[in-house]
A = this chain, B = another copy of it.
Amino acid sequence: MQTEEEILKIKKVKNTAVRTVVLRHLLSQEKAQSLKDIENALAYTDRSSIFRTLKTFEENKVIHSIEDGSGMTKYAVCAKGCNCDPKDLHYHFYCTNCDKTFCLFDVPIPKIQLPENFKQQQANMVVKGLCDNCNK
């Protein structure tokens, strides 16, 4: 596992106090985090600073965002070497019981045969159901 400093250096994002603590929080979580999640976890960091940090991270491929339909965009740290282009994309799983959203890094997304002349740039693939912990 890389440190926050290493990741930011590789992605050419200047290291600041807020950025370090936001990235550290994201790295420490097994599930994708919403702005609200991060705000709650970092009691003394302002929401808009976290918001702008997330935008910066996303623009620089430090993290990727997930629209899981919960009403809040979730964020997760990109895998090492990820460029967020179609070949790097992966499914996400949203548990309808416990509200956790996971990156399914191990399940590849197949190449999707689009209609004539459509061009894929990105994708947001969310499977919804029960996670292992809730499916009992």
Residues on A lying within 8 angstroms of B by beta carbon are 67-69, 91, 93, 96, 104, 106-107, 110, 112-132, 135
Contact = CB atoms under 8 A, between A and B. Distances in A.
Nearest to A124: B126
A121 B116 contact: no
A32 to B, nearest CB: 15
A113 to B, nearest CB: 6
A123 B127 contact: yes
Given A107-B112, A112-B91, A123 B117 contact: no
Name the residue among A116, A117, A119, A122 with the largest chain B CB count within 10 angstroms: A119
A27 B93 CA distance: 31
